[in-house]
Amino acid sequence: MGYQLILLLYVVFGMGKESSKALAGESFYPVQHVTELLMGAERTSVLAKAIYETVGEGDLVVDLGAGSGILSIFAAMAGARKVFAVEINPNSVMVAREMIKRNNLDHKIRLVEGNAFDFLLDEKADVVISETISSICFFEQLIPLMKYAVKNLLKRNGKTIPENVKIMCAPIENEKLFLSSGKNSLPRGVLLPENQFLRTVLGQWQHVERGKILAEPKIIKEIDLKKFREKKVKGTANFKMERGGKLQSFFAFSVIRFSEGTELNPFIKKVHWQPRFFFLENEQLVEKGGEVSFSLEFEPCNPFSLHFSAERI
């Protein structure tokens, strides 16, 4: 298929010393991180499939947070007449410029270095792409970017990639992780601020695998990225415990639908999107068949807006 192009590793690993020096001290993701995202075969192949299914011949496409430029390249190869690749990270811009040049797509892809929230076009786009995803759209820019794009960049009948986000969560027991988190990691008598952000951490899938999941994941919030207008993400999910244990935290993750029939669930197929853990103030003993409700509320990119709670039903 057309999207199975050869990715040029030396473009990333062959950066000269002068380029590295020029970027030293910048508070952006390093080149190595850009490389890791570029080489994520599972994620990249799914995105490529969605782009080839969505972008039509002659379409105008905008890629917000373009990173290495790989998704812009897919869009150009899918038939777009023009692609605007918008990226603020100079490390990513450096990689994207070489990727575009080496794939002979300078005539189709315009690389724009700057803040995506400042980007405007005279003509509305047919498709807007943004893979600014990491966990549950908490720290990430996906929701605010898509709200901005729908309002300012996208045609009324235009399409977004991704289309939909399902935020999933589940109760879990993981003694080691719980004891190393928040107040449990501090000497006795030391108090944390009341803000709940200090009781959440971006974990790894091994923390899920090494723990005991007390009930299967459920949807706490589903978001249509073209229609979502709310300032905050709010949701509640009720769980019936499938096994007894110590309820110490809930882990959450996103299932992303990029296009109709093209979905990626990191709980099933692991990608770089990691689970976020929400630790309870105190662990609760639960029995099989017991019921617990978990509520979550946050404003994307605002850690101090976070609120979550767990209650027995």
> Residue range 137-163: average pLDDT?
95
pLDDT at position 189 is 67
Q: What is the pLDDT of residues 90-126, one digit of tens each?
A: 989 999 999 999 999 999 999 999 999 999 999 999 9
pLDDT at position 22 is 33
Lowest mean pLDDT among 25-34, 42-51, 276-285: 25-34
Select the more confidently predicted residue: 4 or 102.
Answer: 102
Lowest mean pLDDT among 14-28, 35-49, 190-204, 285-299: 14-28
pLDDT at position 61 is 98
Select the more confidently predicted residue: 144 or 205.
Answer: 144
Which listed CATH number (3.40.140.10, 3.40.50.150, 3.50.50.60, 3.20.20.70) goes with 9-131? 3.40.50.150
CA 258 – CA 125 distance, rounded (Å): 17
CA proximity to 219, closest of 267, 183, 260: 267
Give this prediction's pTM.
0.84
- CATH 2.70.160.11 holds for 165-312: yes
Partners of residue 311 on adjacent β-strands: 293
CA 207 – CA 277 distance, rounded (Å): 9
**Has residue 12 got a pLDDT over 60?**
no
CA 110 – CA 116 distance, rounded (Å): 14
CA 191 – CA 131 distance, rounded (Å): 38
Q: Which one-letter amino acid corresponds to residue 59? A: D
Give the rounded percent of residues in the chain with a pLDDT score beyond 90.
Answer: 64
pLDDT band of residue 163 (cuts 50, 70, 90) is: very high
Q: Which residue has the tokens 């978990």?
A: 294
Select the more confidently predicted residue: 12 or 191.
Answer: 191
Alpha carbon distance, N-terminus to C-terminus of the chain: 51
pLDDT band of residue 240 (cuts 50, 70, 90) is: very high
Q: What is the pLDDT of residues 37-85, one digit of tens each?
A: 555 567 888 999 999 999 999 999 999 999 999 999 999 999 999 999 9
**Has residue 18 got a pLDDT over 60?**
no
CA 269 – CA 219 distance, rounded (Å): 17
pLDDT at position 223 is 97
Every domain range in the chain assigned CATH 3.40.50.150: 9-131
Q: Considering the chain, what is the average pLDDT of its residues?
A: 85
CA proximity to 131, closest of 258, 306, 243, 271: 258
pLDDT band of residue 15 (cuts 50, 70, 90) is: very low
pLDDT at position 41 is 65
> Residue range 278-295: average pLDDT?
95
Is the peptide bond prior to 162 cis by the omega test (within 30 degrees of 0)? yes
Every domain range in the chain assigned CATH 2.70.160.11: 165-312
pLDDT at position 195 is 74
**Structural element, H or E, at residue 200:** strand 200-202
**Has residue 239 got a pLDDT over 80?**
yes
